[in-house]
Amino acid sequence: MVCVAFFSYYHVIMNTPKVESKKLSASDVSGGETLLSRVPDGMRGKAVAAYVNGELVDLDRPAPNDADVRFISADSAEGLDVLRHSTSHVMAEAVKSLYPDVKVAIGPSIENGFYYDFDKTEPFTPDDLENIEKRMGEIIGQDLTFERRELPMADARALFEKFGETYKLELLDEIEDDTVSIYTQGEFTDLCRGPHLPSTKFIKAFKLTSIAGAYWRGDEKNRMLQRIYGTAFADKKALKQHLQFLEEAKKRDHRRLGRELDLFQFNDEAGAGMPIYHPKGAMVRTIIEDFERREHLRRGYDIVIGPLILKRELWERSGHYENYRDLMYFTEADGQEYGIKPMNCLAHMLIYRSKIRSYRDLPIRYFELGTVHRHEKSGQLHGLLRVSAFTQDDAHILCTPDQLVDEIVGVMEFIDYVMGVFEFPYAMELSTRPEKSIGTDIDWQRATDALKFALERQGHEYEINEGDGAFYGPKIDFKLKDALGREWQCATVQCDFTLPERFDLTFVDADGERKRPVMLHRVILGSVDRFLGVLIEHYAGAFPVGLAPVQAIVLTITDVHIEHARNVVDELKRAGARVEADFRNEKLGLKVREAQLQKIPYALIIGDTEVEANRVTPRALGGKNLDSMSVEEFIALIRSESSVFWRE
């Protein structure tokens, strides 16, 4: 029974058109009606779940009396979660039907997709994935409902014991409730909170994407399971767009490009997550690091260098031993324990403390390209993006409270300049005091206000993450956006109240009193290694001239051109250009193709014309031929294209 009153309560929330809201009045509900029957016309076939008084539930729940109901469509964030989680159940059913001996572990939705972990002796192959997809298609075609049941704990245990699902029994061990919910579609029953789709036909576009190993509960001591990743979208078009994005991301994968372009390696003989830079990778890093040194000196920073290992007692004093020990490596000599630094701050504190500081000396800005080691779990390592050893472009600024805003503004302008040089758009987030924190209310207020004030003075838009600051102070995080629209955390500027206190740092103020300086930790690129990984993917390995490890390659057509070509190479090198030579007695086409695969910005082909006129004809990466020019003109060209990265 749908009355007029029902429609008068119904309205669309303007800002979130994918979610629809209405209030059901007591007179609206007739016996046995479900939420599904109440889906408004415009959302029929699209609504996949609903919030009832704030709780996300299945649509086969009874339509409630007088409750606030918001329907969730498949293409909203919550709807995609429900869709993907349901697709993971369908995948588990398909796997169980094809491989009955497999045990199922967990299968959540994740960002951009879902996975399910399976215990299976034989590894899954790409062919298996195809078969599983096919079977999933059949299950979806049967339009099976996802039925929810609540069972007393003992019944649930008996059920999963009967199924032989030992992982589910382990999960049940940890649940303290008297009852648990299970969901069944077709032949498959899972322990699950839900909610799920009304039925399998709501899965309109899905794809299984990859297979990976995963330890049960993420613990290396446990059994290694096989994880199948997949994704699902509200419609085929959105899925296609996503798959194209994945394809593009795969092409740009910095781990593959790092190998192909001979930039770096990871080697288990050396240690997991420890990048080893080959000449070309080291060259790109050197270019970036030299640029950073120049820019820091220009902005009133002093370059400092601290040791890689420092005594354990110092880490205890700083609080790192207490808060950070699990991530640190330790070593020992002559009965003294040392910690390998996971951060660069401590040596900088000691430099500051090495003499009496006056207010006239402040601000002091110490900059170090500091290599740190952090013990990451092997499952979390990911090429250069997540490593155990990396170099930060780290600085610590010590200033008077009065100078704080100007210092923060200076850092923000610096970051803006550097992001501009790399042409990255970026966004900012201010993180405020967390529940667990140290420092006085006044300290926090002053530092948070300074960060806010600096953001507003610059006229920047920013988001606020309430309670997400470090325990030692508030911070601003910067996220850059790459060519594929992916966001990467890079710069951060953080206030710190602990270290000046713990190291008893002081300055003598104008009134002759000893006072505490305020301290900022800040990085701009963050981890230089990670930034390099981002750059490789951003440029798809084709570095612009200023960053390219090899800017030009000189190619000879025949051996008679070698002498002249050698002179060209020498002249370019003398001018500071990064140049390679390929004088092999190979076909020119092959040499050009290889240069292009190496993504070298310019190939200079030397033939009779070039020798006679004493000129070069640059061919740009991508095949465009430039007009012939003298070597000096070519140097001027790459020099101007290198802009801030040019080094004499």
Catalytic residues, by residue number, are: 345, 374, 392, 394, 396, 475, 521
Q: What is the dihedral sign for C-alpha 257, 262, 266, 268?
A: positive
How near is the Cβ of 233 to Zn ion at its closest, in Å?
19
Judged by CB under 5 A, the residue of 132, 345, 418, 605 near Zn ion is: 345
Residue 344 or 437: the one with the smaller Cβ distance to Zn ion is: 344
Sheet with 463-465: strands ordered across: 302-303, 364-373, 389-399, 518-527, 487-496, 475-481, 426-431, 463-465
- According to DSSP, the residues that pair with 494 across neighbouring strands are 475, 521
- x/- map, 147-186, Zn ion, by CB under 5 A: ----------------------------------------
- Rounded CA separation 493/393 (Å): 12
CA angle 471, 477, 479 (to 5 degrees): 145
Alpha helix positions (H), 207-318: 236-251, 254-260, 279-298, 312-318
Burial class (CB in 10 A: 0-12, 13-18, 19+), 228: buried
The stretch near Zn ion (CB under 5 A) out of 30-38, 411-419, 500-508, 515-523 is 515-523
Angle between helices 404-421 and 279-298 (to 10 degrees): 140
The stretch near Zn ion (CB under 5 A) out of 345-353, 383-391, 451-459, 588-596 is 345-353
Phi, psi at 379, each rounded to 5°? -65, -20
Residue 522 or 561: the one with the smaller Cβ distance to Zn ion is: 522
How near is the Cβ of 90 to Zn ion at its closest, in Å?
11
- Rounded CA separation 23/8 (Å): 9
How near is the Cβ of 22 to Zn ion at its closest, in Å?
28
Q: What is the dihedral sign for C-alpha 550, 556, 559, 563?
A: negative
How near is the Cβ of 6 to Zn ion at its closest, in Å?
33
Residues 6+ apart with CB under 8 A from 463: 427, 428, 429, 430
Cis peptide before 275 (omega within 30 of 0): no
What would you measure as the largest C-alpha separation in the chain, in angstroms? Answer: 96
How near is the Cβ of 394 to Zn ion at its closest, in Å?
6
Residue 104 or 545: the one with the smaller Cβ distance to Zn ion is: 104
How near is the Cβ of 129 to Zn ion at its closest, in Å?
21
How near is the Cβ of 238 to Zn ion at its closest, in Å?
22
**Strand, coil or helix: what is 244?**
helix
Residue 433 or 475: the one with the smaller Cβ distance to Zn ion is: 475
- Write out the H or E segment, with its range, that includes residue 569: helix 562-574
Q: Are 595 and 546 in contact (CB under 8 A)?
A: no
The stretch near Zn ion (CB under 5 A) out of 169-177, 286-294, 301-309, 513-521 is 513-521
Q: What is the dihedral sign for C-alpha 19, 23, 28, 30?
A: positive
User: b/e for 485-505, b at 16 or more Cβ within 10 A?
Assistant: eeebebbbbbbbbbbbbebeb
Residue 345 or 397: the one with the smaller Cβ distance to Zn ion is: 345
DSSP annotation string for 30-87:
-TT-BGGGG--GGGTTTEEEEEETTEEE-TTSBPPSS-EEEEEETTSHHHHHHHHHHH
How near is the Cβ of 47 to Zn ion at its closest, in Å?
20
Closest Cα to residue 378, out of 272, 298, 297? 272
How near is the Cβ of 396 to Zn ion at its closest, in Å?
6
SS3 for 380-417 is HCECCCECCEEEEEEEEEEECHHHHHHHHHHHHHHHHH
Residue 197 or 611: the one with the smaller Cβ distance to Zn ion is: 197
Which residue is associated with the tokens 């959540």?
Answer: 108
How near is the Cβ of 546 to Zn ion at its closest, in Å?
29
**Strand, coil or helix: what is 168?**
helix
The stretch near Zn ion (CB under 5 A) out of 212-220, 273-281, 287-295, 340-348 is 340-348
Residues 6+ apart with CB under 8 A from 75: 18, 46, 233, 234, 235, 238
Cis peptide before 307 (omega within 30 of 0): no
Asked if residue 67 binds Zn ion (CB under 5 A), the reply is no
The stretch near Zn ion (CB under 5 A) out of 36-44, 188-196, 256-264, 603-611 is 188-196
The stretch near Zn ion (CB under 5 A) out of 343-351, 353-361, 436-444, 615-623 is 343-351
Asked if residue 536 binds Zn ion (CB under 5 A), the reply is no
- Residue closest to Zn ion when measured from CB atoms: 192
The stretch near Zn ion (CB under 5 A) out of 138-146, 190-198, 249-257, 457-465 is 190-198
- x/- map, 381-420, Zn ion, by CB under 5 A: ----------------------------------------
How near is the Cβ of 584 to Zn ion at its closest, in Å?
50
Judged by CB under 5 A, the residue of 35, 59, 144, 192 near Zn ion is: 192
Q: What is the dihedral sign for C-alpha 623, 626, 631, 637?
A: negative
Determine the size of the site formed for Zn ion (CB under 5 A): 3
| CB atoms inside a 10 Å sphere around CB 632 | 10
How near is the Cβ of 395 to Zn ion at its closest, in Å?
8
Residue 373 or 521: the one with the smaller Cβ distance to Zn ion is: 521
- Rounded CA separation 327/218 (Å): 17
The stretch near Zn ion (CB under 5 A) out of 410-418, 419-427, 516-524, 638-646 is 516-524
- Write out the H or E segment, with its range, that includes residue 213: strand 205-215
Residue 148 or 312: the one with the smaller Cβ distance to Zn ion is: 148
Asked if residue 521 binds Zn ion (CB under 5 A), the reply is yes
Residue 192 or 203: the one with the smaller Cβ distance to Zn ion is: 192
- x/- map, 286-325, Zn ion, by CB under 5 A: ----------------------------------------
Residue 296 CA, distance from chain mean position = 26
Amino acid at 307: P
Chain residues that interact with Zn ion, rule: CB under 5 A: 192, 345, 521
